[in-house]
């Protein structure tokens, strides 16, 4: 009789990201997670690791793979896509090297090389997040005694990403296109300063027209193959009550009266037969945003959106500054965990304002 084939898939847990998860034990009996989209390949990898001769401490790349499996359960698909290239680069950098042999000197060298390549502060900080995660995992599992990344600072002089607020013309387009498809959403973001994820998670019951406030207590994230799920804010500052300004009050009331859904910004019906009405999927949002930008004349020469939801949040910060709203009030409205973040935005805007004023002064002198 032919040998009965093994149903490898039944031996493992299939995760939401399409990978199978298994476990192997090192020579000290510590259990480590391991992942693969191919259950048979996963089975063979576990056999290799379980049956290999004792060879000292785990390698950095083995530890990184074990950490990655756990970490990806805690972040959105988009967040991981931003980190993945740096994770793969760091893992390859120390391939085959014992986790105990990677030092603060190595990590600092990596950061300095990243600076020399012209990488931004945000990108280098992403690499630090990866190092910290891997070594903290190693500490918890008894592989190392301390985290060398914890003592390494980011190099001075890294390029800073510039915040890009919408132009006056773009703000006018947002304010004059409320009746465009999905037109309330960008106007709502501009008037409230909410993050896109916070606005998409709102229910109508979060809006109190009598008190003229909006209760923000959750965010919409896309972890499971771009399908929506709700989570709590990262910080306490994310949970807040935001005022409904007069310019938003009437249009928002009329908008809410037109829809039966309990969601403030529900998913739309689709040409593929989707009825809509629940939380927006990532694809649904991107389609709605594109159609809005096309209707409002907010596209570039390639027909793609020329403005993002995040830019509108910066637009709110700019308008708060220009309206002389103090930084602490702006911090609360924007949901910044630390007023320093708000102050940095205000300082940058103040410098821009100063430059414009000096330019006008210079022109006035020339015209005398």
| CATH code for the structural domain at 8-151 | 1.10.150.130
Is CATH 1.10.443.10 the classification given to domain 168-357? yes
Q: Closest Cα to residue 251, out of 177, 320, 201?
A: 177
pTM: 0.62
Distance, in Å, from the CA atom of 218 to the CA atom of 359, rounded to the nearest integer, reads 44
Q: How many CA atoms lie within 13 A of 310 on its CB side?
A: 3
Distance, in Å, from the CA atom of 20 to the CA atom of 151, rounded to the nearest integer, reads 35
Say if CB 17 and CB 27 are below 8 A apart.
Answer: no
168-357 has the same fold as 8-151:
no
Distance, in Å, from the CA atom of 146 to the CA atom of 234, rounded to the nearest integer, reads 26
How would you classify the pairing of strands 207-208 and 227-231?
A: unpaired
The residues spanned by each domain of the chain are 8-151, 168-357
User: Each residue's pLDDT tens digit in the chain (368 positions)?
Assistant: 455 577 888 878 887 777 788 877 776 666 777 777 888 887 787 777 666 655 567 899 989 998 998 888 777 777 788 899 999 999 999 999 999 999 999 999 999 999 999 888 888 989 999 999 999 999 998 889 999 999 999 998 888 765 578 888 999 999 999 999 999 999 999 999 999 999 999 999 999 999 999 999 999 887 655 578 888 876 677 789 999 999 999 999 999 999 889 999 998 766 555 566 789 988 889 999 999 999 999 999 999 999 999 999 989 998 998 888 898 888 888 888 777 778 877 777 777 777 777 787 778 777 77
At 11-41, the pLDDT tens digits run: 788 877 777 888 777 766 667 777 778 888 8
Distance, in Å, from the CA atom of 306 to the CA atom of 294, rounded to the nearest integer, reads 10
Distance, in Å, from the CA atom of 38 to the CA atom of 14, rounded to the nearest integer, reads 10
């Amino acid at each position: 009789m032919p040998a009965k084939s093994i149903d490898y898939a039944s031996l493992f847990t299939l995760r939401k990201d399409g990978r199978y998860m298994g476990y192997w034990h090192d020579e000290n009996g510590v259990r480590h997670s391991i992942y693969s989209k191919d259950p048979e390949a996963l089975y063979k990898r576990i056999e290799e690791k379980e049956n290999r001769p004792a060879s000292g401490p785990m390698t950095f790349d083995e530890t990184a793979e074990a950490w990655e499996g756990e970490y990806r359960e805690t972040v959105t698909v988009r967040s991981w896509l931003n980190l993945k290239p740096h994770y793969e680069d760091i893992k390859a950098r120390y391939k085959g090297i014992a986790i105990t042999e990677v030092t603060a000197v190595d990590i600092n060298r990596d950061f300095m090389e990243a600076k020399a390549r012209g990488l931004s502060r945000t990108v280098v900080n992403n690499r630090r997040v990866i190092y910290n995660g891997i070594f903290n995992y190693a500490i918890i599992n008894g592989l190392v005694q301390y985290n060398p990344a914890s003592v390494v600072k980011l190099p001075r002089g890294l390029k800073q990403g510039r915040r890009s607020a919408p132009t006056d013309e773009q703000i006018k387009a947002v304010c004059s296109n409320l009746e465009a498809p999905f037109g309330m959403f960008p106007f709502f973001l501009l008037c409230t300063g909410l993050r896109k994820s916070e606005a998409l998670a709102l229910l109508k019951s979060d809006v109190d027209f009598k008190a003229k406030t909006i209760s923000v207590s959750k965010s919409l994230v896309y972890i499971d193959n771009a399908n929506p799920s709700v989570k709590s804010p990262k910080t306490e500052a994310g949970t807040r009550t935001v005022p409904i300004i007069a310019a938003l009050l009437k249009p928002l009331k009329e908008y809410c009266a037109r829809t039966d859904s309990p969601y403030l910004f529900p998913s739309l019906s689709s040409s593929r037969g989707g009825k809509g009405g629940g939380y927006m999927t990532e694809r649904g949002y991107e389609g709605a945003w594109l159609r809005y930008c096309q209707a409002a004349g907010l596209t570039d020469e390639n027909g793609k959106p020329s403005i993002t939801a995040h830019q509108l949040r910066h637009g709110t910060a700019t308008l708060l500054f220009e309206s002389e709203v103090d930084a602490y009030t702006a911090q609360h409205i924007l949901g910044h965990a630390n007023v320093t973040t708000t102050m940095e935005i205000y300082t940058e805007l103040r410098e821009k304002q100063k430059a414009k004023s000096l330019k006008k002064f210079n022109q006035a002198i020339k015209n005398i």
